[in-house]
Amino acid sequence: MSNFLEKFENELAYQKMSKGEDTGPISRILSNVSILVLVFLLVTLFRAQFYWPALLLLILGFTRFGHWVSIGLLVYFAIIQYWTGVIIMTVYGAVGWLSAWYGMRNIKKNLYSGKVNVDPFEGMVDLLFLLIFQVVFFAAALFTSGILSIIFWVLFGLVTLFEAGRFYHRLASPWRQLHYPLMVRYAAVAGYQAGVAQRENKEFDMEAAINEFAKVIYPDWTEEEIQKFLKTIDEKMNSFADKDNLLAFFKKIKPQIEDKEVDDLLGKVQEHFKKKNPRWVIAEVVEHDYGVDERIKYLYSIIVGQAD
């Protein structure tokens, strides 16, 4: 039975891996690095006049035969003693293997973790365009020389820095990895609910939107589980169950702040917390996946305007 479960787990993980689902941020970043190494390899081969190996890698490198092509070229370069090609191919293979290994590890870890299935980069369509610009500027910088090459290196550096900033924005803390992609999902739910309200000539129903939002987060839950989840959120927010923890966190972050000043602020916040808000749903998810401390950090970020 154990053997069967292991095979089933591997098969499920491979299916997710082939679709690029739930591979995690490390695998995603390494995959981007792998593409840049491939570009460097292709440019190097073209400049060394290895046109057929370069075309073969370019045509088949992204297909299911890609790893066989890579192994074949590695052996070929070793036989003809083209050591530059051997080194770059080895680095390319190593980065690709690491990306796949981290992806599989993340998928298997999340299979039984009970955590919500969320891609930290969900909704970040701009990352694809950034990668395209990176590849173009990187290849151009390698192909050209002189001032033109410097210009392309600068452009490549600027795009890479901007991309690193985007990665940091989503990955800097656990709550960020949930808040931003889940708010993308809520935007889709709210948009649909707004359309329904407009067609039926009714006001936007926040309660219905929150209910559908919870179902999008936990699609495998029953209606009873969803309602219990939402009831827990309402009870916590209406009773301001996080007040003491937030007070302690404010004092930790800003030791010089007066207790009365914090009490006044939290008094104003309390009324806001009683209103239905998708962020309170996300706060419950954050607590479920990462604990109370991370929940308090998230609520603090909402209060000070860091969780937009």
Domain residue extents for the chain? 1-105, 116-172, 175-303
Q: Using alpha carbons, select from 89, 94, 65 the residue that is nearest to residue 78.
A: 89
Provide the pLDDT for residue 3. 63
SS3 122: coil
pLDDT at 298: 94
Separation of alpha carbons 218 and 258, rounded Å: 41
Classify residue 159 by burial, with Cβ atoms within 10 Å: 0-12, 13-18, 19+.
Answer: buried
Identify the residue whose tokens are 């840049």.
36
Q: What is the pLDDT of residue 12?
A: 63
pTM (whole model) above 0.85:
no
Judge contact between 118 and 177, C-beta under 8 A.
Answer: yes
Residue 308's pLDDT is what?
Answer: 76
Chain centre distance of CA 212: 23
Measured on CA atoms in the order 250, 255, 260, 265, is the torsion positive or negative? negative
Q: Is 124 left (phi over 0), alpha (psi -120 to 50) or beta?
A: beta
Listed as ranges, residues in the chain with pLDDT below 70 are: 1-21
Measured between alpha carbons, how far is 241 from 141 in angstroms, rounded to an integer?
A: 56
pLDDT at 1: 45
Distance CA 121, CA 109 (A): 18
The CA-CA-CA angle for residues 68, 72, 75, to 5°, reads: 140
Residues in Cβ contact with 104 at an 8 Å cutoff, skipping those fewer than 6 apart: 13, 14, 17
pLDDT for the residue 265: 81
- Identity at 160, one-letter amino acid code: T
d(CA 85, CA 208): 59
